[in-house]
Amino acid sequence: MARPTLLVAEPEPEQAVSTRKLVLETGKFNVITAHSGREFLELLRRFPKVDCAIVHSMLPDASCAEMFAAAKKANPKMATILLSARVQSKCKGADHVVSSHQPEALLEVTRELFGDPRNVR
């Protein structure tokens, strides 16, 4: 099994270190990070076979529904996760909703979806 690759779109500034990225990479997932909706769509064009699209609800320049639709068009089997401060949030195209304040919950969901990459040899 190859380690899953996750495309994460979040509003953190490019120079900031994302807690989510660190947690996912420590969990041995491959992580590609976009800091805007436009960058997410460009990275999706370049890497259409990523395993999962993770989108923060607070991205200022694109809707989560638009980004999930593009992800599913690129790869209909791609898992989609919405990060939101309110777990009750909804977004068309999101398979899962995870609190943006609980990076360990995001790691748990990705392990449920793909298994534990720490066991890859």
Across the chain, which has 121 residues, the per-10-residue mean pLDDT values are: 89 71 93 93 95 91 92 95 83 92 93 89 62
Domains of the chain are 5-119 (3.40.50.2300)
Say what the pTM is. 0.91
Packing angle between helix 103-114 and helix 19-26, nearest 10 degrees?
40
Is 109:98 a contact under the CB 8 Å cutoff?
A: yes
Is 115:108 a contact under the CB 8 Å cutoff?
A: no
Distance CA 117, CA 40 (A): 24
